[in-house]
Amino acid sequence: MKTSTNEIQDHPDNETDTEENQKKLKYPKSVFFIIGNEFCERFSFYGMRTVLTLYLRNYLNYNDDTSTAIYHVFTMFAYFFPVFGAILADSLLGKFRTIFYLSIVYAIGQILLSLTAAPPIGLPKREFSLVGLLLIALGTGGIKPCVTAFGGDQFVLPQQERYLSTYFSLFYFSINFGSLISSFLTPILRSDVECFDEKTCYSLAFFVPAVLMTVSIVIFIVGRPLYKIVKPTGNVVLVVSKCISHAIYQKVTSKSKREHWLDHADDEYDRSLINDIKAALQVMKLFIPIPIFWALFDQQASRWTLQASKMDGEIGSFLLQPDQMQVINPLLVLAFIPIFETCFYPLLAKIGLRTPLKKLTIGGVLAALAFVLSALVELQLETTYPVLPSEGVAQLRVFNTLNCPVNMTIGDQSFGLKEMDMWANVNIETTGRSFDYTAQSESCKINSIGTILVTGGVATSWVMGPDGLSYNYVDFIDKPKTGDPLVRGLFFVNESSSSVELSLRKGDKPSVSFSLNAGIHETDLKEIKPSVYDIWIGDQKAKSDVQLKLGGVYTVVGSVSPNEKNVNIVTVTEPNSMHILWQIPQYILITFGEVMFSVTGLEFAFTQAPTSMKSLLQASWLLTVAFGNLIVVIIAEGSWFSRQVYEFFLFAGLMFVDMIIFAFMAKLYKYVEVPDDGSITEEINMDVKNGIVNESYKDNEK
């Protein structure tokens, strides 16, 4: 009783000592350097990744499928290398040196990518871009598991547990804030800045993230004197891998029978480790369907961005770039998380949907619905696509460069061709065919007959001049790859006229210009920013307020003589007409699903594993992202579908089926409570029927 009395008397003093210790332990200033480092690194990563798909397609000239595949291979490596980063940090270099060395590799990759995008440097574009991306994936993936843990090492626990919670909030905010700013900024640098005589500036869009990555290294090094550095103590991933390998080897070579195949490893490994691995494997089984979600989620920056490039981004005087749509995700994440915690999750609990696995299932279904919406958008978008010539089908266009109407007959078709206008037949079934034509115009004194040719799979444009249809060329009628409008000149220049310049201007400075020589000829197609322009021939304004829109292909048609200059703008390919904001519902659904799936999944993985296995479960969760991107690579490179809408419906269907399987697996899972010491004190049913208790937890209870 005396001892107990002393303990009771000492208890208030112990509380006072703890309070005094908490007051003495100030908030570690070192974490602000780590948070600043993380902000710059995330700005660098997301800024580069936002414009990456368009860089691969528009600048490196890969097709849509290959661009998508390369983007997802890069993302796959970025989420695969964390395993090696964790092994390096925990077993060899320690967290500080791992972050420092791999950050240098990361910065070199960013700088190399920026230099490759600068034409004067002259580096082989494709080869060095891929090398740069590999270095970036190695760097960002390698430091990913280290930075958060390194920040946590700066706190003294349990005395500073409240401070640690604040740190994680600030850390998460820095990630999303860096992503938000860079996702909005780098598309502007790419599209609105002209450099090296090009209409875009990918080198600057990559250079700014490279600078931020370099700054992140400087910030990290400056905080070096303040850091608490924990020496490497061994990596659980290696230990678990060795234990599993040994168990498999013993099972194969040994004739003895054991209750569980992992029990074969008890000749070299502790029973507690084996039981912890059993528990971790029970959770990891539920990770098997998870990659399908990431296959859908990460297509925001690939397939959805390519879809947005075929849509109209004009909002008043502001032009929303297709890759800027990705900024919606971090914006909604920051908005949704507090709403979910205060409103949505309590509402779900009232209707019986309170367990993490049920939330995960709902999140997956929402992701599938997001892809159903993207498929519906694609179906509507297909109606705006131009009709392209195909094998056995030819297209014929006739342009009139003269300032007078012409009555024409081609084959069995008769029509009036207006002055400086175009007539088209986009569906001529033939592999090669000739047509007789007649052309008459009293005002231009034309009375011409002759023969014209068309070829299957080709869009042929014939040009009306003073001598009839005497000139033709192969036209481009597809949507511009970059999304910006394309324009060319098509003129008849009188022999007595000197060479003149055709230009499209905003103000006094030409945006594009073409040289017009005597005779009939077409100029090259040139890319121009969507806007309103004046058309000038030489020093004379020939037409005012011509609007060129996203996705349009235009031909400036006319004639030049000493006494007059006639000009008109003809739309060869209609501009994008479906607005980019129609993508917002699919972004809302995918972000809704992400919050329920990603945040809940991390919480589930962390709480359902013993303490010694928590880092293994976090590494396994990151690997599901890598495998999800691998699924996209396989489907994109397979090129199984002639229409993108079919691929969107495939992913939606896969996700629905995947969630049915996941829901069945979740129903068989028995939730357990794992205290901080890793022992099991209580089983929690949480409204799960027919669940199976994890045997390894039973062993721990014994």
Q: Give the tens place of pLDDT for each residue, 202-248.
A: 999 999 999 999 999 999 999 999 999 888 877 788 899 899 999 99
Task: For residue 616, name the pLDDT band (cuts at 50, 70, 90).
Answer: confident
pLDDT in tens, 441-457: 998 889 999 999 999 89
Q: Residue 477 corresponds to which tokens in the numbers above?
A: 């009628």
Cβ 163 vs Cβ 171: under 8 Å: no
The burial class, CB within 10 Å (0-12 / 13-18 / 19+), for 405 is: middle
Percent of the chain whose pLDDT exceeds 90:
63
Which among 574, 584, 528 has a CA at the least distance from the CA of 551?
574
pLDDT for position 24: 64
Q: What single-letter amino acid sits at 213?
A: M
Task: For residue 368, name the pLDDT band (cuts at 50, 70, 90).
Answer: very high
Give the angle 140-146-147 at the CA atoms, nearest 5°. Answer: 80
Mean pLDDT of 85-95: 87
**H or E segment to which residue 512 belongs:** strand 509-516
pLDDT in tens, 157-174: 777 777 877 787 788 788
Cβ 649 vs Cβ 372: under 8 Å: yes
Place of tokens 């207006």: 418
pLDDT for position 6: 40
pLDDT for position 149: 82
Instruction: Give the chain's mean pLDDT.
Output: 88
DSSP annotation string for 489-511: EEEEE-TTSPPEEEEEEETTEEE
pLDDT in tens, 511-526: 899 999 889 999 999 9
pLDDT for position 352: 80
Q: What single-letter amino acid sits at 459?
A: A
Gap between the Cα atoms of 629 and 635, Å rounded: 10
Give the pairing type, strands 531-537 and 526-527. unpaired
Cβ 88 vs Cβ 98: under 8 Å: yes
Gap between the Cα atoms of 104 and 98, Å rounded: 10
pLDDT in tens, 635-684: 998 888 889 999 999 999 999 999 999 999 988 888 766 444 444 433 33
Pick the more confident residue, 48 or 254: 48
The burial class, CB within 10 Å (0-12 / 13-18 / 19+), for 88 is: buried
pLDDT for position 233: 76
Gap between the Cα atoms of 557 and 399, Å rounded: 8
Residue 590 above 90 pLDDT? yes
Task: Give the number of other CB atoms < 10 A from CB of residue 195.
Answer: 17
Cβ 368 vs Cβ 296: under 8 Å: yes
Gap between the Cα atoms of 632 and 201, Å rounded: 28
Question: CB-based contacts of 38: which residues, under 8 Å, 6+ apart?
Answer: 147, 171, 174, 175, 178, 216
pLDDT for position 694: 41
Q: Residue 506 corresponds to which tokens in the numbers above?
A: 């905003």
Q: Residue 458 corresponds to which tokens in the numbers above?
A: 């080709």
Cβ 356 vs Cβ 614: under 8 Å: no
Mean pLDDT of 329-340: 87
Task: Give the number of other CB atoms < 10 A from CB of residue 474.
Answer: 12
pLDDT in tens, 96-115: 999 999 999 999 999 999 99
pLDDT for position 325: 95
Percent of the chain whose pLDDT exceeds 70:
92
Q: What single-letter amino acid sits at 3?
A: T
- Find which of 143-152, 427-436, 619-628, 647-656 is predicted with most confidence, using mean pLDDT: 647-656
Gap between the Cα atoms of 649 and 645, Å rounded: 6
